[in-house]
């Protein structure tokens, strides 16, 4: 990656960014300058997409609008309102056996840190910036691939600028509330949310680390 020594320095290798990024479930209250987020998004826009369709929109929430969303989310969580995401969630039992085992292993390994997840999730992890990635209704399945590539480029570019990130269903489980509060057009499906901010190093919930399967469990070499 490019080297730079101005504020928001770009100084990690791609390999370092890949290793440093992890899901952060509690951010500090330190704000993130809009200019920094714009730099991250401009870099992430370099992600590839089907015939360069760039089919997505990004809704960036911060400040007062995000605080309104946070309050509404906390109220819905407190009321036990079930999520109604635009992208349906499949029952865990319908996933492949391997994926089910991985999800079960992750859940079982959370320990005490996992107990703190519900409360911080209800507060949108206290993220000072949330990005909502959307696709136009009727999108091609391929656009989901493109949106994922954009999302992962965002979190890596954020890591490169010393920011922590959280990609989560949690942000988009109440899409009607988001449409109302953020005036997200009705013809966009809200696919996923990404929180950005600074990691709270004191938070137990941030000690969660996820492992990966041995490479040879997912790799078949045809030589
Ligand atoms: C599309 C997507 C949605 C996710 N939604 C949530 C969520 O709602 N709550 C949560 O705690 N983690 C969520 N995660 C984070 C995953 O649990 C996490 O990426 C995985 O355990 C690997 O950990 P790592 O990101 O720290 O490497 C989500 C991740 C992705 C990619």
Distance 192 CA to ligand 1 centre (A): 11
Ligand 1 atom closest to Cα of 209?
26
Nearest CA to ligand 1 atom 1: 168
The stretch 126-136 carries a mean pLDDT of 99
Whether 153 lines ligand 1, by a CB cut-off of 6 Å, is no
C-alpha R_g of the chain: 18
Whether 68 lines ligand 1, by a CB cut-off of 6 Å, is no
Return all residues near 68 (Cβ < 8 A) that are at least 6 apart.
181
CB 120 within 8 A of CB 26: yes
Ligand 1 atom closest to Cα of 170?
8
**Residue 2: per-residue pLDDT:** 44
**Residue 10: per-residue pLDDT:** 73
Distance 116 CA to ligand 1 centre (A): 15
Q: Which CATH number fits domain 27-89+102-217: 3.40.109.10, 3.40.50.261, 3.90.550.10, 3.40.630.30?
A: 3.40.109.10
Q: Which helix (H) or strand (E) holds 129?
A: strand 129-136
How much is the mean pLDDT over the chain?
A: 95
Whether 129 lines ligand 1, by a CB cut-off of 6 Å, is no
CA nearest neighbour of 196 among 128, 147, 148: 128
With H, G, I as helix, E, B as strand and everything else as coil, classify residue 23: strand
Distances (CA, A) of 68 to 28, 44, 150, 214: 18, 27, 26, 43
Residues 95-129 have pLDDT tens digits of 999 999 999 999 999 999 999 999 999 999 999 99
Ligand 1 atom closest to Cα of 22?
26
DSSP 50-72: GGG----EEEEEEHHHHHHHHHH
Ligand 1 atom closest to Cα of 173?
8
CA nearest neighbour of 148 among 194, 201, 217, 215: 194
Residues 182-204 have pLDDT tens digits of 999 999 999 999 999 999 999 99
CB 189 within 8 A of CB 134: yes
């Amino acid at each position: 990656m490019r080297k730079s020594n101005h504020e928001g320095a770009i100084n990690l290798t791609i390999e370092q960014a890949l290793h440093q990024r992890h899901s952060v479930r509690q951010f500090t209250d330190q704000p993130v300058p809009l200019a920094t987020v714009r730099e991250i998004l401009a870099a992430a826009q370099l992600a590839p997409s089907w015939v360069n369709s760039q089919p997505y929109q990004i809704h960036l929430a911060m400040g007062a609008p995000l605080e309104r969303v946070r309050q509404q989310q906390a109220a819905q969580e407190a009321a036990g309102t079930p999520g109604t995401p635009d992208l349906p969630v499949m029952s865990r039992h319908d996933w492949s056996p391997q994926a089910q085992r991985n999800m079960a292993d992750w859940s079982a390994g959370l320990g005490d840190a996992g107990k703190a997840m519900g409360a911080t999730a209800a507060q949108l992890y206290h993220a000072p910036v949330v990005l909502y990635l959307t696709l136009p209704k009727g999108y091609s399945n391929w656009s989901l691939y493109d949106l994922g590539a954009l999302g992962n480029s965002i979190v890596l570019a954020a890591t490169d600028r010393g920011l922590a990130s959280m990609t989560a269903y949690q942000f988009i489980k109440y899409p009607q509330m988001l449409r109302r509060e953020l005036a997200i057009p009705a013809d966009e499906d809200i696919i996923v949310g990404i929180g950005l901010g600074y990691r709270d190093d004191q938070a137990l919930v941030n000690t969660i680390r996820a492992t990966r399967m041995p490479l040879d469990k997912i790799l078949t070499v045809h030589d």
